[in-house]
Homo-oligomer: A and B are copies of this chain.
Amino acid sequence: MTGNNVSHPNHSHLRLKRLGIDTYREFVIYMNRDCEVCRAEGFEVRSRIAVESSGKSIVATLNVTGDDLLSTDEAGLSEAAWKALSAEEGQIVTLLHPSPLISESHLRRKVYGGTLGKEELEHIVRDVAGGFYDDIHLAAFVTACAGDRLNAQETIDLTAAMISAGDTLTWQSSRVADKHCIGGLPGNRTSMIVVPIVAAAGLVIPKTSSRAITSPAGTADVMETLTRVDLDLGEMKRVVEQEGGCIAWGGAMRLSPADDILIGVERPLDFDSEGQLVASVLSKKIAAGSTHVVLDLPVGPTAKLRNAEAAARLASRLQQTADAFGLIVKIVETDGTQPVGRGIGPVLEARDVVAVLQNDPAAPADLRKRALGLSGQLLELAGAAASGGGLVLAESLLSSGAAWRKFQSICAAQGGMRDLTFAPHRYEVLALQAGQVTSIDNRKLAKVAKLAGAPRAPMAGVDFHAPLGSIVKLGQPLYTVHAETPGELAYALDYAKSQTEMIEVWETT
């Protein structure tokens, strides 16, 4: 080959200036529109640019500025990018065109309805975990896998790819218990009761939880109102070695990090994929070193699983995938027709959990019963109770106060227990007619809690007073909306008032 006019530039350099712009997770690089590097490399707004410094490298999306923010030899970074590079003011960064991503062609094939092999999913997941996908490509991947668009083998391969893209934990014990609920049911905060019961029985249960994806609260959000949850791997190991159990946020560790990134896009999109759900749940459990896991699948017309058929399909996919990894699971389908407990939102749900653990006679009986049922199953599955003896053991550990003491010890080990404080702005939504409550729309109730600010605003949410079958009087409160700001309260109420069929009350004769 011969050429003319070719000079292969080594690199382009700019000096970092901290602009302090927080874009959430997205890596953005800011450059002056007249900067030499833009011209020499042909970068333009929205170009993807590889940014390297001191051996670290990220790929960021270009936003262009005028002279007010940056001079032509400076570059800014979004806070997430700044952190990922461990950048310092004035540091020199090298900018270059990123290599084209091989996995983009796999993504495209999936979008067109193709089936992906193990290596192709590994490429995609590695690129996702490496931060090489921008939001548009993440959204395309999540959408292409939505519903039932991943087959059984793809689900297994995606799970394996997610595990291998992150860290994994190992434990001394040969039996490591865990439980997980697939969500979709407001207030279903059983993990925070199951973990202390099971740990009090002497089992090892290193529970990592997620923050809410599409719901008003995830277990990590609720636990965080009572103690620290952003433990790193070392801290988590120490807590579990000392107490037998923990309830930590998985996102602060690198267990299945691609999953955390995908969740960041699933949240605004507000939808799940069956295959991704399975891969997300099981990759986290396997990476955390769990061996025996109870999976709670709430089923109901407005829960995530709407009917027995959907539940059976998901259960079979979960079982199949778990089998492929030698993970022993017990899948429990539970009632998903209405919220569990009374609170919906981090602080309100924490209040219910503490009441159950303290054996408060006013504690929500349904939450207590669900948590005991799941604890019993897990105690049997992991061999701490004989078949049929799990529930009795769980009840005795709860009633005796052993579980509450264990919960307090776990909180102390995680960084100390906090007192709950409640929202300053509240509004009671009242029954417009007397009668019996005949149906409840979980999704709409959850939406009210989210519009009120949950889970970001921990005190926000809904306190629910009228379970299915309740007899209510005219003007009796059906639920109370809690918010941290007047704006959010108004916003939630605007929606709540437009949804009169959210809770149906039938006149009793």
User: Quick one: which of A458-509 are within 8 Å of B by CB?
Assistant: 460, 483-491, 493, 495, 497
Q: Whose C-beta in chain B lies nearest to the C-beta of A429?
A: B1
A6 at the interface (CB under 8 A from B): yes
User: Quick one: which of A390-435 are within 8 Å of B by CB?
Assistant: 424-430
Inter-chain contact A7/B146, CB cutoff 8 Å: no
Which residues of B have CB within 8 Å of A63?
Answer: 21-23, 78
Inter-chain contact A143/B111, CB cutoff 8 Å: yes
Cβ contacts A243-283/B at 8 Å (1 or 0 each): 00000000000000000000001001111000000000000
A15 at the interface (CB under 8 A from B): no
Known: A111-B147, A146-B111, A486-B40. A65 touches B265 (CB 8 A): no
A453 at the interface (CB under 8 A from B): yes
In angstroms, Cα B97 to Cα A483, docked, is 15
A30 at the interface (CB under 8 A from B): yes
Interface centre among A19, A143, A429, A430 (most CB of B within 10 A): A143
Inter-chain contact A65/B20, CB cutoff 8 Å: yes
A389 at the interface (CB under 8 A from B): no
Q: Which of B44, B97, B111 lies in contact with A491, CB distance below 8 A?
A: B97
A33 at the interface (CB under 8 A from B): yes
In angstroms, Cα B147 to Cα A140, docked, is 13
Cβ contacts A329-348/B at 8 Å (1 or 0 each): 00000000000000000000
Inter-chain contact A6/B489, CB cutoff 8 Å: yes
In angstroms, Cα B456 to Cα A39, docked, is 12
Q: Which of B42, B147, B430 lies in contact with A112, CB distance below 8 A?
A: B147
Which residues of B have CB within 8 Å of A83?
Answer: none
Which residues of B have CB within 8 Å of A42?
Answer: 453, 456-457, 460, 483-485, 487-488
Known: A5-B426, A139-B135. A19 touches B108 (CB 8 A): no
Q: How far is the CB of A166 from chain B (nearest CB, A)?
A: 23
Which residues of B have CB within 8 Å of A22?
Answer: 33, 45, 63-65
Q: How far is the CB of A433 from chain B (nearest CB, A)?
A: 13
Which residues of B have CB within 8 Å of A69?
Answer: 19-21, 69
Inter-chain contact B2/A24, CB cutoff 8 Å: no
Cβ contacts A5-45/B at 8 Å (1 or 0 each): 11111001000000111111000001001000001111011
Q: Whose C-beta in chain B lies nearest to the C-beta of A19?
A: B69
Inter-chain contact B490/A9, CB cutoff 8 Å: yes
Inter-chain contact A486/B6, CB cutoff 8 Å: yes
Q: Which of B9, B142, B143 lies in contact with A486, CB distance below 8 A?
A: B9
Q: Whose C-beta in chain B lies nearest to the C-beta of A140?
A: B143
Q: Whose C-beta in chain B lies nearest to the C-beta of A134?
A: B268
In angstroms, Cα B112 to Cα A22, docked, is 32
Give 17 A-B pairs besides A2-B430, A5-B427, A41-B491 with Cβ atoms closer than 8 angstroms.
A6-B425, A6-B427, A6-B490, A21-B63, A22-B64, A41-B487, A42-B487, A97-B488, A108-B269, A111-B143, A113-B147, A113-B148, A135-B139, A136-B136, A136-B268, A139-B140, A143-B143
User: A residues near B, CB below 8 A?
Assistant: 1-9, 12, 19-24, 30, 33, 39-42, 44-46, 63-66, 68-69, 78, 96-97, 100, 104, 108, 111-113, 134-140, 142-144, 146-149, 265, 268-271, 424-430, 447, 451, 453, 456-457, 460, 483-491, 493, 495, 497
Q: List 21 A-B contacts (CB under 8 A).
A: A3-B428, A5-B426, A5-B427, A6-B493, A8-B490, A9-B486, A19-B69, A20-B68, A22-B45, A39-B485, A40-B485, A69-B69, A97-B451, A97-B491, A100-B495, A108-B269, A113-B149, A134-B268, A135-B136, A135-B139, A139-B143
Closest 5 CB pairs of A and B: A20-B66, A139-B139, A143-B143, A41-B487, A3-B427
